[in-house]
Amino acid sequence: QKEVEQDPGPLSVPEGAIVSLNCTYSNSAFQYFMWYRQYSRKGPELLMYTYSSGNKEDGRFTAQVDKSSKYISLFIRDSQPSDSATYLCAMDSSYKLIFGSGTRLLVRP
């Protein structure tokens, strides 16, 4: 079993939709939870990070962490075609990031 599981998609939504991206994990020691956006043939870009449980909002993006369920989510409101990318979740384990496999998102105009 992988430490971090993420549905690969692809996820296709119309412009303006609310997008929900999710990851589950098995290691209860994880404390930091990250979401990255990766455009094709580019390096990952950190979108948001959360420490421990709770919510964090940044513009159209909201990250949620439920440590009791070992489940994290990223919500994108009013999705735009420019949001089309692969979204990677990652978790921190003693200076090492453990990544999910990524979810491809396509926002149709």
Partner 1 sequence: NAGVTQTPKFRVLKTGQSMTLLCAQDMNHEYMYWYRQDPGMGLRLIHYSVGEGTTAKGEVPDGYNVSRLKKQNFLLGLESAAPSQTSVYFCGTQGAGWSYDEQFFGPGTRLTVL
Binding site for partner 1 (CB under 8 A): 4, 6, 8, 32, 34, 41-46, 49, 88, 90, 92, 95-102
Q: State in angstroms the smallest separation of the CB of 37 from partner 1.
A: 11
How far is the C-alpha of 96 from the C-alpha of 109, rounded, in Å?
Answer: 38
Tokens for 24?
A: 């589950």
Q: Which is nearer to partner 1, 14 or 94 (CB)?
A: 94
Structure tokens at 62: 């909201």
Cα 1 from Cα 76, distance rounded (Å): 28
- Of 13 and 48, the one with the shorter C-beta distance to partner 1 is 48
Nearer to partner 1, 17 or 70 (CB): 70
Tell me how far apart the alpha carbons of residues 77 and 51 are, in angstroms, rounded to a whole number.
Answer: 22
Give least dist CB 103 to partner 1, A.
10
